Chain A
Amino acid sequence: MNKRLRLRLMLLLVAALAALASIHPESVSADVPYQTYYKDNYNQLFKMQAAYTPAGALGKDLFVPDTSNPGQTVYSPLNQPQDLYIDSRDHIYIADTGNNRIVHLDAEGRLAGLITLPDSPFNRPQGVFVDTNGDIYVADTGNQRVVRLNGEGELLAEFGRPESKLIPEAFKYDPIKLVVDKRGFMYIATLGGYQGLLQLDPQGEFQSFFGANKTGFSLSDSIKRLLYTREMYEREISKLPGSIASVDKDGNGFVYTVTKEVRTKQLKKLNIAGLDQLAGKGEFADTMTDGSFGEYIHRAGRTGYPQLNDLTVDGNGNMTVVDSKLNIVSQYDGNGNLLFFWGGAAGDTTTKLGIVKIPAAIETNSANDLFILDSENNIVQKYRLSEFGELVHKANGLTQDGRYEESEPLWLEVHRLNAYYAPAVLGLAKAAYKKGDYERAQTLFKQAGWAQGYSDSFWQNRLLWFQSNFGLLMNVVIGALLIYFAAKFTAGRLGYGAKRRSEHYNRKRAARPLPLQLRHAFYVLKHPIDGFHSIRYDQKGGLLSSAILFVLALVSYAIMRAAISFIFNPSIIVEVQLVTILIRFIVVWLGFVIANYLISSLYHGEGRFRDVLYGSSYAIFPFILLGIPITLISNVMTLSEQSIFTFLEYGLYVWVGLLFFWMVQGIQNYGVGETIINLLLSLITMAICAVLLFIVFSLTSELFNFIYSVYQEVTIR
């Protein structure tokens, strides 16, 4: 596609979106100018009450002494500020990048001082950090240095590019963000520094690179590697691991990083050894989430992937990240479980309380208020926890500490206020499990959609059931066996069984062939090639019986898709509808029948169309036999028996596949080799048909649209 056409298409798309947006004016909820959401582990969004409410805008009225006019003040707004830090006294420090200064506000947001370092001025400083002793560290990006100042803003030390053999030549030392740990070691994020954080000791000596990201390697990469020349492959810059965008730390010695331009592990919680504590953790590690951080709102103009810009960790260990691209604030607890998120594209006409245009940095004060620095509107927005948010924090804190029982009343209240908030259901489920109330735990875990918990409590319940019903169960089994043997014995004695069966067979054959045709399905299972062969040559199958078998198989397949336990089949929670699934089944089956018939008739096959049709109906017979049993069994299994379930399920598909193979062999009277070739060709034919159809359809609709557009353009303009 050439560039101009692409541009044109993009413009059209934009216009289209504008049209959609215009018929859908944004509704505003009361109390807060944004909507807060929760996303469950099946990627379903739920609107919820606000967790944080806007509490003010700071830094919009900055007046500094006028140098040319003593005694007067002059308005001096922030200019593209990039970083924010709140110290232990709740004073706010802003890296006012565009003005080459650090702005110091007191806890109420009044101007408390400006740090400009007149002897050695800053050049676009992008990061600021204040140590517990009041020392201020500034990442002076433009000057390629980190400076350490005392509380009065006097220079104490200056750290340029560290000297070490371990630092590669190509490494660019442009510090953007930094934190300093208790020992005085600095962790510096540098612009484009994919090696990780630069760790320096208090003297500025290089220690190591810390918390580097890994390079992703995908299937397409391996193909590229195979096909590309070395030069071409190396030119792929995306093969560098993402560079760390920002860094923060908590009181327990963990260092947190956020990374842009990666799809997973955007947020990391690193221990002293540089190991990510969030990897593979989180409640929902076993379901459909993929370990990615930074949320987005479906349908609200998603134009890319989250690009996390900064994070903050509050007193309870909850992590809040801001996304500078999609403009979303997401909060996670200390283990990386989503608590809530809000935001979305800001209207471009107005500046509003609580609405951030470009979130550059985020910080928390001691009261767990959030502060978000808006580098477009040049203000700091302050947010306070709502009653609901506070309740969730309290309850979740207890749950994370394992104090499930204590958390129960709090979660109950959260659940009363919001029945769809999965963490509350999960908290209650854990409390119930802890107390041994497995019935309730099972229901709640299912409601929350957490397979592992559900499976565990179901395991307990199943055990209890077996324990209490073991006697009865055994009696039933023994009784059934006794009756069976007794019946067999008497029948053998009287000579009924065999005779009656053969009579039955003969009588029916003469009267109505349908039951016989149906019974032939069982014969096919036992002697597939022979069975299919006799469908072709002995008219053992018929249209009606095939139709019945097909419909039954379809129903059985539908039951499987709809009723297999959610722990093995998580998609049922999201995709409830069966119509698409059924259509897909029919289309694939019919496509195969036709493609196979076409190929066979060219490839000296002996089967007629109806034989292929009948045979294919008989070949899916295992669905009828096994579909419902598998569905039932799945509902009494736990995750620990997953291998059995998987075996059964795959076994079913393999069996059906084999039957299709023998069907072709028997009906077309092929050898094994011929069958394989025939099947391959059939599949290729199916694919080609699909592609052709797709092209034909999209082209005709495009053509029609094109003519309509031309007509419209001519008549309107």
Chain B
Amino acid sequence: MKRKTIVKLSAAVLTVLLLLGWGLLLQRDADRQSTGKAGQENTVADGTTGAAGNGGSAGGGSPVDAALPVEAAFVKAAESERFVLWTDAVTAHFKIISKETGKVWRSYPNPEYWELEKTTGTWRSSFLSPVMLEYIDASNSKSQSKLTNWMEEKGVLDQYELTGDGFRATFYFPGTKFEIPVEVRLNGDYVETKVIDEGIAEGDLSLLNLKLYPLFGAEPSHGQEGYMLVPDGSGALIKFDENRSNDKSIYRENVYGADLSFYNEQTGRQEVKMPVFGLKSGDRSFLAVMTDGEEYAKLFAAPAGALGISNWITPEWQYRIKFFQSTNKQGDQGFYTYSKDRFVAGERTTRYYPIDGPKTDYAAMAERYRNYLIEENGLARLEQRKENIPLYVDIIGADLKQGLLWDDYIEGTTTKQAETMVKELREAGVDNLSVLYAGWQRWGYSSYGGLFPVDNRLGGNGGMKTFIDSAHKLGVSVYLSANYSLNSSGRGGFWKLNDGLRNLAGTLQEQYGGRNNDDKVTLTSPLYGIREAEGDLAEYKSLGADGLLLEGGIGSALNTDFNNRHKASRTEVLGAQQRLLEKADGELESIGVTDGSFYSLANVDHIHRIADDYSYDIFVDEAIPFEQIVLHGLVTYSSDWANLSDEYNADFLRSVEYGAYPSYVFTAAESGKFKQAYSIWYYSMNYRDWKQSAAEQYKRLNEALGDVQDLYIIGHRTLAEGVKETIYENGKTIIVNFNEKPYVLANGRVTVPAQDFIVTTGGEA
């Protein structure tokens, strides 16, 4: 009897356990179904829509009217060798006059065309106002963000004073009670505008973002040729036109890309890698560089007709960005809200370089920016170039895929096979080769975190060392690729609850791990990742690697981290990344970054797979190699993988035009082997399939670019639709014809064959 009870009892316990297990299984399925969908919608409107601010009430000084400044009342505030700065004590507007040519750049709309401006309401006064801003009433959770400007509120100018090289002033907003202190100064060939963050005062309302002198240099499209330069991809031009088709599209993008801890508008655009913009109107132009606090800027550009009749372009300084406050444990329910604290970046500085020289086009802007990088960031012309251009080969070591019971290891290229590959490529005629070895860590590419040692199945640390040594004998340099922004393995003492990236709501940030795989990969705290990278430097060195290629974050992306253990603002992350790069550059021969941002340039020797396209916005008229013109001769850069190209020939021609070195992604394994891999989805990687064509293209590119590796690009233009000309310092000129018809040069003697290029020495004529 007793025994029966025990049996029954144990049966009951078993039932409960079993049912628990079953329930868990079912629950998991249900969870999967509910998270299997995705979409996008934001509950709080973001953007530039908003209602008018409230009317003005008097503050300290005398309220200002919404009108153009009276130029006759301007006083000379500063003078340099080339420019004179005139300012207005009433509106704090200013203008710069070139001593040599007498050309003028104004911080307000061109008075000549102002009467044509038909826009009414807040936008009209915004165009006239030196400061416009967006704010929200944080005390009311339902409130929408609103636009206002200093003139609309009949603002007051406080503490206006001349400083010798410019002036200082504080804009007081009587309605919304904001105080915005700014400083403008002329120095050499630029004028610098600055918002001083410490001096900003808020009333009950919360400042979201502001634009200082938004219409600096702005011009309507009236007769003159002109364009705005936006750092979209490698650079893009929005040409002046009348915009009679009434397109209201604007360009508004985060400098240095999205911050995953905050809400990001899904624009599908390329990330902004360079904190620059420019505008050319007729025979004068300016280049603007955001030199401080740019990590908290969005670049804002409005083509004529979108917002007013002017083409205007300006940084939009961010002080608060909404984030997703989740209210449940999974972090998928909640609402958008703003933080209490403002972003603090010290100063937010824009340098405007007026250009009126003989050349005012984007090549001239790029030249000025290149000089800026040399003067201010310590970049220098490339030294000790080899005779031949480098070909960059990304070798994929291994990846994972789903297996019967646990993940299967897909071997791509062992270190032995890599030796053979390098040898074969050299024999095929690639005279200067750089290898970037990825997926070498334990368990391959998708196994992020705790990278060392090299996986034994590929040969281990020893095999890697042997490979590097043998590569060096062939004059091939070897980089190891690493991603320190993700962790899926938990190795290296990583615990996602402690060391993961968190937004202000404390939600751990994760991303999908790979194809057909619901597992998520944790984003590491930026500072954790940087520390891990720092710890690995000695290992790279001991293997004899020439360099480290950073992917996925360090050197290219900035995320604010609200994880209390590794808390860091965007500015702090930027600083930490720069320090790491500096240290790495000191310990290793060279550092590469995949599609790197310009804040990392000082310590980076190679930008891998540089953006060479634009984002296909319909208001953009032309994609230009601005980034490449700036960088050629300073750091090396490579185009995107040629074996995964969408248009094989056009992309090859583009890399000729852009002076970019070729790159490929290869494995020794058959192309089909990675079919179900979590991360490496590339559909054609077998190097034997590509050896021949790679060597041929390399040879052609080498002939074109071999002797200009350390030279700057001094000219670039479109000769006809689809025909581009690139000129180097030594006069070498490359003309690329993308069209299906041959192109005859203006001199009538030289023809560029269809979908081909020629190299000459004397320009077009």
Which residues of A are in contact with B by a Cβ distance under 8 Å?
11-26, 28-33, 44-50, 53-54, 57, 60-61, 63, 75, 77, 299-303, 345-347, 349-355, 379, 386-388, 416-421, 447, 558, 562, 574, 576-580, 583-584, 587, 590-591, 594, 597-598, 601, 608-610, 689-690, 692-694, 696-698, 701, 704-705, 708-709, 712-713, 716-717
Contact = CB atoms under 8 A, between A and B. Distances in A.
Nearest to A691: B26
Interface string B311-335: 0000000000000111111111111
B509 A416 contact: no
A632 B383 CA distance: 66
B660 to A, nearest CB: 12
Given A350-B269, A578-B404, A693 B19 contact: yes
Nearest to B258: A25
Given A19-B326, A19-B507, A32-B646, 4 more contacts: A31-B647, A63-B244, A419-B675, A712-B328
B249 A350 contact: yes
6 contacts: A18-B324, A23-B510, A49-B646, A347-B268, A419-B675, A579-B405
Closest 6 A/B residue pairs (Cβ): A16-B332, A419-B671, A31-B646, A693-B23, A17-B39, A697-B23
B372 interface: no
Which of the listed residues B22, B245, B267 has the most CB atoms from chain A within 10 Å of its own CB?
Answer: B22
A31 B613 contact: yes
B27 A697 contact: yes
Contact of B683 (A301, A303, A420, A717): A420
B645 interface: yes
Contacts, number: 269
B489 interface: no
B675 A591 contact: no
Interface string B260-272: 1001111111100
Given A47-B681, A387-B648, A28 B270 contact: yes
B188 to A, nearest CB: 38
Contacts of A61: 244-245
B542 interface: no
A544 B694 CA distance: 63
B7 A610 contact: yes
A32 B268 CA distance: 12
A350 B280 CA distance: 24
B616 A354 contact: yes
Contacts of B499: none
Contacts of B619: 351
A45 B514 CA distance: 12
B326 A53 contact: no
B725 interface: no
Contacts of A608: 4, 7
Interface residues on B, range: 35 or more
Contacts of A347: 266-268
A303 B40 CA distance: 12
A712 B26 CA distance: 27
Contacts of A14: 39, 41
B683 A421 contact: yes
B674 to A, nearest CB: 9
A352 to B, nearest CB: 4
Contacts of B616: 32-33, 54, 352-355
B14 interface: yes
Contacts of A21: 38-40, 266
B324 A591 contact: no
Contacts of B55: none
Nearest to A347: B268
Which of the listed residues A33, A53, A63 has the most CB atoms from chain B within 10 Å of its own CB?
Answer: A33
Contact of B264 (A25, A45, A350, A580): A25
Contact of B675 (A60, A379, A420): A420
Contacts of B205: none
Contacts of B260: 22-23, 25
B494 to A, nearest CB: 19
Given A19-B332, A21-B38, A23-B260, A576 B268 contact: no
B617 A351 contact: yes
Given A26-B268, A351-B249, A15 B21 contact: no
B618 interface: yes
B20 interface: yes
B37 interface: yes
A347 B398 CA distance: 35
B649 A576 contact: no
A694 B24 CA distance: 8
B516 A44 contact: yes
A15 B617 contact: no
Contact of B244 (A12, A31, A75, A587): A75
A23 B36 contact: no
Nearest to B503: A23
B402 interface: yes
A75 B249 contact: no
B696 to A, nearest CB: 15
A39 to B, nearest CB: 12
Interface string B30-64: 10001111111111000000000000000000000
A326 to B, nearest CB: 12
Given A30-B612, A33-B616, A350 B333 contact: no
Nearest to B523: A23
Interface in B629-645: 640, 644-645
Contact of B30 (A18, A601, A698): A698
Given A355-B616, A594-B14, A713-B327, A15 B19 contact: no
A369 B89 CA distance: 61
Interface string B472-503: 00000000000000000000000000000000
B511 interface: yes
A690 B646 CA distance: 51
Contacts of A50: 646-647
B38 A17 contact: yes
Contacts of A31: 613, 645-647, 650-651
A47 B333 contact: no
Nearest to B27: A697
Contacts of B38: 17, 20-21, 24, 299-301
B703 interface: no
Nearest to B262: A22
Interface string B610-632: 01110111110000000000000
B586 interface: no
Contacts of A53: 646-647
Nearest to A601: B8
Contacts of B730: none
A580 B686 CA distance: 34
A597 B141 CA distance: 58
A25 B511 CA distance: 10
Contacts of A354: 616
A430 B229 CA distance: 53
Contacts of B650: 31
A574 B249 CA distance: 43
B268 A33 contact: yes
B247 A351 contact: yes
A33 B614 CA distance: 9
Nearest to A14: B41
B18 A590 contact: yes
A18 B40 CA distance: 4
Contacts of B672: 419-420, 447
A379 B403 CA distance: 48
B670 interface: yes
B331 to A, nearest CB: 6
Contacts of A18: 39-43, 324
Which of the listed residues B335, B611, B683 has the most CB atoms from chain A within 10 Å of its own CB?
Answer: B683
A556 to B, nearest CB: 14
A693 B684 contact: no
Nearest to A558: B404
Contacts of A17: 37-41, 332
A701 B330 CA distance: 11
Contacts of A598: 11, 15
